[in-house]
Amino acid sequence: MSAPDTFPQATDTRRDRRARDAFSVASGGAYGPEDVRLRRETRAAMLGETLQLAKYSAITQAAVALALAYMFWDIAPHGYMAGLATAVTLLCAATLSAARRYRGTFREAVTELAVRRGFRVSKLLALALGLSWASMPAVLLPGMDNAYRVIVVAVCAGLVSDAYVVGPIFGVAVLLAAPVVVGLFVGLLGCEAPVGEYIAVLLAVYATFVFFSARRMCGLSYQRLLDRAVVQEQSETIGLLLKDFEEGTSDWLWETDAAGRLRNSRRRFAALLGRDAEDLRDLKVLPLLREFAAEGAGRGEIEAVVAAVEARLPFRDLTVSLRTTEGTRWWTLNGKPAFDRQGAFVGYRGVGSDVTASRAAQARIAFLAGHDALTGLPNRTNFQEALEEVCREVRSSERRSALFYLDLDGFKAVNDTCGHLVGDRLLKEVAARLLAVCGPHGVFRLGGDEFAVVARDVGRAEAEALASRAVADLRRPFRIDEALLEIGVSIGIAYVPDDAIEPSSLLVRADLALYGAKADGKGCWRTFDPALEEKVQRHRQLDVDMRAALAADEMELHYQPLVDMRSGRVTGFEALLRWNRPGQGWVSPGEVIPVAEATGFIVEIGRWALRRACTDALAWNGLRVAVNISSIHVRMPGFHDEVAAVLRETGLRPELLEIEITESVLLDHGPEVLENLTRMRATGVRIALDDFGTGYSSLSYLTEFPFDKVKVDRSFVRDLQARPEKIAVVEAIARMARALSMNVTVEGVETRQQLDVLRKKRCDIAQGFLYSPARPAAEVAALIERIEEAARPPRAGGAVPSLPAPVARPGLSLVRAS
């Protein structure tokens, strides 16, 4: 191959540069970025070509050596001619042997060691031959006549020209030809002038041309062999990729002839269709697609493929559905027409992909986008769409519908005790029962244990009957493995259009109805009542106003005295929240506190009350102040640090502060509750358990938590004389508290008779209207003086002092500041 054929699109400059680089590598010099393996393969190919050509060169040189011995036998020394012929012949035989040996070596594998050794042997043989031939002109030229000199020069010229023949290894060419050129120069020096000088000059020009030409040819040969190795490697890679592409993936190559018959890809089509490859012999693609086309979806795409093929147009990403032995399969086809060099149509070439799995995955994703993964019910997204559709319909017709908002009762307890796996299975069973009861209507899972039903075209009576069936059906026990689980459901019902015609309003009112069902004891259904919405609006406005009131310092703390039953002395005060709402008068704390707890604002109120109470208590000459703190606040990890900070800021001694908590703090408490109570008590702050004897009272609380005092709820004091069992309970609490070194405070003491009974039962502190309702901080000093004056023993001859007359209860209840 000529140089232009080797580099058909390269410029001369680029070709020269590549040839120089190739020559550098071929000569063993520095090489460029070619991969080591490619370089080894290329050098092995160079050696192979050199040894292949060396066979012919060796035979030729041996024949020339023998011919020269014959021609010059009578006019040259016999010993030299015999020696030259013998040496050349033996070296040529060695060359043939080396060529045969290395051909066998490279047949199995090419190694770097074998390549290096082959280069070394080739160069050694070339040098030995070059030196052997170099002696010939040096010995024969000086003593011969001109006729024989022409023979010698002709032989030397042929040997120099052999540099082109010995192949692409430039080192071999130089080692063979250079000694011959040197020997020729030596022989010409012995010839008569000026013929010898003339021939020497011509020889130098010719030798220079030969060496530079050989160098360039060797470089081009190296580049040719390197390109061939790269192409071969790429071909192998492409072949492997195509084989893997067809056999190891869901994609395949397909092609047809000009008549539309399958070629090569027939076996692949047959396997995908579940048919024998022989059944598809001579079948055309278009009839094949039509024959196996699935009903319905995909037929339009098949006709699109047919139209493109008939018009000989390319097509991309056309998905067809086909009936196979494995069910319906989906293929995506790409194809384009192929033409020969003369522009004649020779068929179609393309790629097919089996996208059945991806379409199934997409369908699953689309399903999950609108359905709950656990129960399979439509999810909140579908619910919102259904709700909007129902509201649209009612605007244009007389149709009536109902929205059921369902919340499971007792599900959290099952989930916590039995685990989430059982809880998930229970939710599936609930979904199944709801579908059985409300199947004709839309059943949705909104999340957690919340469900919804959109009942279309139902009146009130039918909707309420449906809700009753759902409540009754979900009340029946569920069997999960060996366990029988009992839960219930509360349902709130809102009607379209009676209650709302906007989706958001309808949902809010169904939620309010659900709240009413929960408030009425759960396990029932309730319809929306406008009073519920009014209550929510009132609470929302109350939340806004009380936040503004606290910021504007409109809230107050009043203090109710705590009196020692024996001495009659005031031991301290309990802080109680009061709020005189502008334009509306005193607001009951019983209304404020639940709203504040529901919104979390109770924490801010508690912080304010704690700081205000500690500040006011500084003026009481060592009397204790009790502040009731919300369970939300006590559960906060940093509560004990807040209390310590308030004591530092106000300067109140820790033993003068008493924190009252209710039993709700102790239900499902975490480690932070015990830590807060323990650390506060360690600093001297007293801890009191409020409203003991009600709610979830447990004796274990008294041993587990560090209390200094228990407070008996006012419900035990009311009708104390008429209810002996109440006296027994109070007495039991007092005995238990004394055994645990705790004080007992009794709330709600209103009469002297109650006080006498409680004093006999050895209770410690009384609190109630007998002494005073809660009063502002400015009246505390006078209140102390009045209570203690009444408790002093009478002077001789003086009147018997008495407690101040009970003050009539105000219109608001006494509720603590949290």
Question: 717-752: per-residue pLDDT in tens?
Answer: 887 877 888 888 888 888 988 888 899 999 999 999
Q: For residue 250, count CB atoms less than 10 angstroms from its CB and return exposed for 0-12, middle for 13-18, buried for 19 or more.
A: middle
Residue 675 above 50 pLDDT? yes
The string over 666-693, giving b where at least 16 C-beta atoms fall within 10 Å of a residue's C-beta and e elsewhere, is beebeeebeebbebbbeeebbbbbbbbb
Average pLDDT of the segment spanning 437-457: 89
Average pLDDT of the segment spanning 568-583: 92
Among 163-177, 578-592, 601-615, 719-733, the minimum mean pLDDT is found in 163-177
- pLDDT value of residue 238: 63
Mean pLDDT of the chain: 81
- pLDDT value of residue 715: 84
Q: Under a CB-based contact definition with an 8 Å cutoff, are residues 377 and 371 in contact? A: yes
- pLDDT value of residue 399: 77
Residue 147 above 90 pLDDT? no
Answer whether the bond into residue 287 is a cis peptide, omega within 30°: no
Measured CA distances, 157 to 51, 181, 208, 627 (Å): 22, 9, 13, 123
Average pLDDT of the segment spanning 503-519: 91
Answer whether the bond into residue 773 is a cis peptide, omega within 30°: no
* Helix locations, 311-410, DSSP H: 356-370, 380-395
Q: Under a CB-based contact definition with an 8 Å cutoff, are residues 183 and 138 in contact? A: yes
- pLDDT value of residue 647: 96
Grouping H, G, I as helix, E, B as strand and the rest as coil, residue 326 is: coil
- The share of the chain scoring above pLDDT 70, in percent, equals 85
Q: Under a CB-based contact definition with an 8 Å cutoff, are residues 558 and 573 in contact? A: no
Question: 59-118: per-residue pLDDT in tens?
Answer: 888 898 898 888 888 888 888 889 988 988 898 888 888 878 776 666 556 677 777 888
Closest among 575, 579, 571 to 558, alpha carbons compared: 575
Q: How confident is the model at residue 702 (pLDDT cuts 50, 70, 90)?
A: confident
Q: Under a CB-based contact definition with an 8 Å cutoff, are residues 525 and 490 in contact? A: yes
Closest among 513, 507, 473, 469 to 491, alpha carbons compared: 513
Residue 501 above 60 pLDDT? yes
Q: How confident is the model at residue 213 (pLDDT cuts 50, 70, 90)?
A: confident
Q: Copy the structure tokens of residue 302.
A: 């098949």
- pLDDT value of residue 268: 64
Q: How confident is the model at residue 54 (pLDDT cuts 50, 70, 90)?
A: confident
pTM over 0.95: no
* Helix locations, 249-379, DSSP H: 266-273, 285-292, 299-310, 356-370
Residue 491 dihedral angles phi and psi, to the nearest 5°: -130, 130
DSSP, residue by residue, 13-79:
HHHHHHHHHHHHHHTTS---S--HHHHHHHHHHHHHHHHHHHHHHHHHHHHHHHHHHHHTTTTS-HH
- Ramachandran area for residue 491 (φ above 0: left; ψ -120 to 50: alpha; else beta): beta
